[in-house]
Chain A
Amino acid sequence: MGISKQSVFSHQLKTLENIGEKIRALILEHRKQSGSHLGVVFRTVIDPNEPTLYKEGHHGKGGINQGIRECDYKLSEADPNWVLASAAHGLSFSVSVDHALKITKFLGGFQKKGTKLNCAYWILENTDAIPANMEFVQDPDDPEHYLLTITKDMKITDLVAKLTWINNRMTTMSGLTLEAHKDA
C-alpha cells in the first residue's frame, strides 16, 4: 500500500519546517546587517499566479482588474481605473516563514486538489526598496502580518507597474511546493 496523501502532505510540511529553521537564522542575520525594519517579507503564492499579481480564473471569487484583486486594494467606485490610498488595504505579507506557512496551509484548504502553493520572499535592502507611494503597514490584529498599502491615489496601471517591479524582485522557494491534497 502506498503512502497516504495526508502523510505526504505532513512530510512536505516537516521538510518545510526544517528548511524554515535555516531561513529564520538567515533572516535574523540579514536584519542585523541591513538595519532594515523588515529585512525580508514572505507571501503565499497559489499556482499559477505570480507573487504579486493574479491570473483571471485563479484569483478567488471576487473581481479582478489587470491582475489586481478588487478585494486587496480599494478601487474607486467612481472610476475603477483609480486605486485609493488606504492603510487598511494591500497585499498580504508575513515577516516570518512560520507565519507564511500558516497562511499557506490555511489557504491550501480552499484550493482544488492538485493546486500547488508556494512561498515567495522579497529581500528589502533598505527603505528605498519599496516603490514610491507604497508602504508596509503592520496589521493591528497580528504583528507578524503586514499589508503592502498605497499612500497616494494612483491609476491602476501605475499600481500594476509597481507590483510588477516587486514581482520581478521576489523569489519563489522552488522545491518547497505544497499541494492541496483533497478536493476543496
Chain B
Amino acid sequence: MLKFDADSKNAKLLAIHYARLIGGDLLIKFMSGETDLSNTENATLIIKGFWQMTDLAIKDNHANKIIEGITDIEFWMHKLFIKVNGYMTRNGFKTLWDASINNR
C-alpha cells in the first residue's frame, strides 16, 4: 500500500482529493493508502487514474488554486509521484508504469 506519515500528509490530501474527482473505488482506496494492487488489470487502472489526477493537478497549479489548504501542488504531487513510482517498481508493475511515463 502507499504509505503516508505526518511529513507527507499533504501528498495524501492531494492524492485523495484528485482520486475522488476522477472517481472509482479502487483509485480512491489505493490513493488513500488502503489497498494494494493484486494484478496487472488493476495496476493499469490506477496508472491511468494517476495521470488523469496529474492533469487536473497541473491545471490547478497553473491557476494558482489552493487545494485542501495546499498552495504548492507541484511539490506535493512530486512527492506522490515518488511514492507511486516506488510502489509500481517494488510490486512488479515497473514495465507498465515506465511505459505510461514514456507515453505521456
- Chain A residues with a Cβ under 8 A of chain B: 13, 60-62, 69, 71, 86, 88-89, 92, 98-99, 102-103, 105-107, 109-110, 112, 139-145, 183-184
Contact = CB atoms under 8 A, between A and B. Distances in A.
Given A102-B85, A105-B101, A142-B86, A89 B74 contact: no
Contacts of A143: 86, 89-90
Contact of B75 (A62, A86, A103): A62
Interface in B12-57: 54, 57
A10 to B, nearest CB: 8
Given A98-B98, A184-B61, 11 more contacts: A71-B75, A88-B7, A89-B7, A103-B81, A106-B101, A109-B104, A110-B62, A139-B82, A142-B82, A142-B86, A144-B89
Interface of B: 2-3, 5, 7-8, 54, 57-58, 61-62, 64, 71-75, 77-78, 81-83, 85-87, 89-90, 98, 101-102, 104
A141 B74 contact: no
Contact of A13 (B74, B75, B89, B102): B102
24 contacts: A60-B74, A60-B75, A61-B72, A61-B75, A86-B7, A88-B7, A92-B78, A98-B98, A105-B101, A106-B78, A107-B74, A107-B78, A109-B58, A110-B58, A110-B62, A139-B86, A140-B3, A141-B82, A142-B85, A142-B86, A143-B89, A144-B89, A183-B62, A184-B61
Q: Which of B5, B7, B77, B82 has the most CB of A within 10 A?
A: B82
B72 A71 contact: yes
A107 B81 CA distance: 10
A153 B64 CA distance: 32
A110 to B, nearest CB: 4
Contacts of B71: 61-62
Contacts of B77: 110
A96 to B, nearest CB: 11
